[in-house]
Amino acid sequence: MTSPAWTFAVAAVLIAVVDWVAVVRLDLRTERFAKPAVIVALLGVAANLEPNVVGARPWVVAALVASLAGDVLLLPGGRFRAGLAAFFLAQVAYLGSFVQWPLEVVGALIGMIGAAVLYAVAGRRIAAGAAATDRATGLAVIAYLIAISAMAVAATATLAPALVAGAWLFVASDAVLGWRRFVADPTGAALASPLSRLAVMVPYHVGQTLLVLSLAI
C-alpha cells in the first residue's frame, strides 16, 4: 500500500478504538463523531491504495459511502429503516466489487452452506421478529438478509482470506444486531448494555477494514 493509505489505515484503527471506548463508557457525544469517522478514514484508504483487482475500487468506495450514511442513521435515536436501506445499498455495492474477482465454485458452495446455516440458526427468527413489528420492517429485513447473504457468498467464492473474513465478520455484526433488536426482549436492560453494543461494533469495524484492505492484499 502507499504511505497515505497506511496513514489512513492507522487512523481508522485508532478511531475505531476510540469508538469502542466511547461505547463502553456510554459516551454518546464521542460516539457520534468516532463511529462515522472510522468509515471516513477507510474511504481515505480505498482512495489511496493500489487495487489488485481492476474495477473493484469504485464499488468499494460506493459501499463505504452507503455505510457512512447507515452509520449516521443508526446512531442511538436514529432511523432504523432508513439506516437499513443504506446498508442494503452497501451490501449490493460490495457484491458488485466481489464479482470483479475470479470466483471459485467450491468457495461459492461453502458460502451458500454458511448462509443457509446462519439463516436456519438466526436469520429466520430475526425475519419473524421483524415481521411481527410491522409489515414494512419485515419486508425490509428480508430484503437485507438476501443482500448480505449474497454478499457473503460472493466474498467466500473469491477464496481471498482477508475478504472472506471481513465479509463474515460483517454478517456476524448484523446478526447480533438483528437478534438483539427482533428476537431478544427489546425492552430488556441487556440490549442497551455496553458489552451488547460492543459485540456489534467490533466485528463491524474489523470486517469493514478487512474488506477495504483486501483490495491490495
**CA distance to 96, 136, 142, per residue, from 131 (Å):** 28, 8, 9
Number of Cβ atoms within 10 Å of the Cβ of 158:
24
Q: Can you read off the three cell numbers belonging to residue 131?
A: 415481521
Please state, in angstroms and rounded to a whole number, the distance separating the CA atoms of residues 148 and 128: 17
Please state, in angstroms and rounded to a whole number, the distance separating the CA atoms of residues 87 and 74: 10
Tens digits of residue pLDDT in 84-137: 999 999 999 999 999 999 999 999 999 999 999 999 999 999 999 999 888 899
Q: Which residue has the cell 481492476?
A: 54
This prediction's pTM: 0.92
Percent of the chain with pLDDT over 70: 94
Please state, in angstroms and rounded to a whole number, the distance separating the CA atoms of residues 172 and 118: 9
Please state, in angstroms and rounded to a whole number, the distance separating the CA atoms of residues 99 and 113: 19
Q: Give the residue-averaged pLDDT of 13-29.
A: 93
Please state, in angstroms and rounded to a whole number, the distance separating the CA atoms of residues 207 and 6: 17
Question: 42, 10 in Cβ contact below 8 A?
Answer: no
Residue 179: phi and psi, rounded to 5, are -65, -45
Residue 191, pLDDT score: 53
Asked which of 40-54, 93-107, 189-203 is least confident by mean pLDDT, the reply is 189-203
Confidence grade of residue 196 (pLDDT, cut at 50, 70, 90): confident
